[in-house]
C-alpha cells in the first residue's frame, strides 16, 4: 500500500468537502455547516502535515542518524493547539454572537448528503486498502492465509467512521 498516494487522496477529499461546505455555509448562514467546513480545513491541514511528516521522518543525516521521526510529535501538538483554538472560536460564535436565522433549500440538503457520503465511501476504500496484507511479490505466503485480524491505523481521520461503524454493528467489512 502506498501511504503517500492515500495521503494525496485524503487531501483531495478534504478540499472537495471544504468547498462543498463553504458554498452551503455561505448560502445558508448555518453555524453547523460552517463548523463542518472548519473541521474539513483542520482535516486538510492534518493530511498535509502527515504527508510532510512521512517524507521528513524517513530522512537521515549525520547529526540525526535515526531520522526526524520525532518531528511528527511536534506537528501533532501544533495541530492539537489549532483544533482547540478553532473549537473555542466556534463555541464563542455559538454562544456570544446574535442568533441568526439559517435558510434551508433542497439543494443545500443534497449538498450535505453528498458531503456525508463522500467521507464514508472514502473511508471504506481506505480501510480496505489498509487491511490488505502487505507482502513482497515473491513471498510464498498466499493472500488468503495472511493475518488480517486488525487493520493498521491509517493517517486519515476518514477511516474512523467506518471503523466505529464496524465496531457498533459487528460487521468486519462492507464487501
Is residue 175 one of the residues assigned to a domain?
Answer: no
Q: At 24, is the pLDDT very low, low, confident or very high (cuts 50, 70, 90)? A: very high
Kindly write down the DSSP assignment for every residue of 73-125, as one continuous string. Answer: HHHHHHHHHHHHHHHHHHHHHHHHSPP-PPP--HHHHHHHHHHHHHHHHHHHH
Cα dihedral sign for 113, 40, 23, 20? negative
Q: At 130, is the pLDDT very low, low, confident or very high (cuts 50, 70, 90)? A: confident
For the chain, the domain total comes to: 1
Is residue 69 one of the residues assigned to a domain?
Answer: yes
Is residue 174 one of the residues assigned to a domain?
Answer: no
CB 159 within 8 A of CB 126: yes
Residues sharing a CB contact under 8 Å with residue 33, sequence separation 6 or more, in sequence order: 21, 24, 25, 108, 112
Is residue 165 one of the residues assigned to a domain?
Answer: yes
| Per-residue pLDDT, 167 | 52
Tens digit of each residue's pLDDT (9 = 90 or more) over 73-108:
787 888 889 889 888 988 888 898 888 888 888 999
Is residue 146 one of the residues assigned to a domain?
Answer: no
Is residue 63 one of the residues assigned to a domain?
Answer: yes
Phi-psi region of 109 (alpha: psi -120 to 50; beta: other; left: phi over 0): alpha
Q: Which domain holds residue 81?
A: 3-132+151-169
Q: How far apart are CA 99 and CA 79, in angstroms?
A: 30
Is residue 141 one of the residues assigned to a domain?
Answer: no
Amino acid at each position: 500500500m502506498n501511504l503517500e498516494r492515500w495521503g494525496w487522496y485524503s487531501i483531495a477529499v478534504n478540499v472537495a468537502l471544504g468547498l462543498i461546505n463553504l458554498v452551503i455555509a455561505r448560502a445558508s448562514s448555518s453555524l453547523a455547516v460552517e463548523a463542518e467546513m472548519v473541521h474539513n480545513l483542520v482535516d486538510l491541514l492534518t493530511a498535509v502535515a502527515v504527508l510532510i511528516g512521512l517524507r521528513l521522518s524517513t530522512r537521515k543525516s549525520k547529526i540525526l542518524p535515526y531520522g526526524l521521526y520525532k518531528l511528527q510529535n511536534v506537528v501533532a501538538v501544533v495541530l492539537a493547539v489549532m483544533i482547540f483554538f478553532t473549537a473555542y472560536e466556534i463555541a464563542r460564535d455559538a454562544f456570544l454572537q446574535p442568533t441568526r436565522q439559517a435558510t434551508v433549500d433542497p439543494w443545500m440538503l443534497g449538498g450535505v448528503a453528498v458531503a456525508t457520503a463522500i467521507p464514508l465511501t472514502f473511508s471504506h476504500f481506505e480501510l480496505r486498502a489498509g487491511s490488505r496484507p502487505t507482502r513482497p511479490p515473491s513471498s510464498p505466503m498466499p493472500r488468503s492465509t495472511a493475518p488480517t485480524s486488525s487493520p493498521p491505523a491509517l493517517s486519515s481521520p476518514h477511516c474512523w467512521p467506518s471503523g466505529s461503524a464496524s465496531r457498533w454493528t459487528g460487521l468486519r467489512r462492507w464487501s
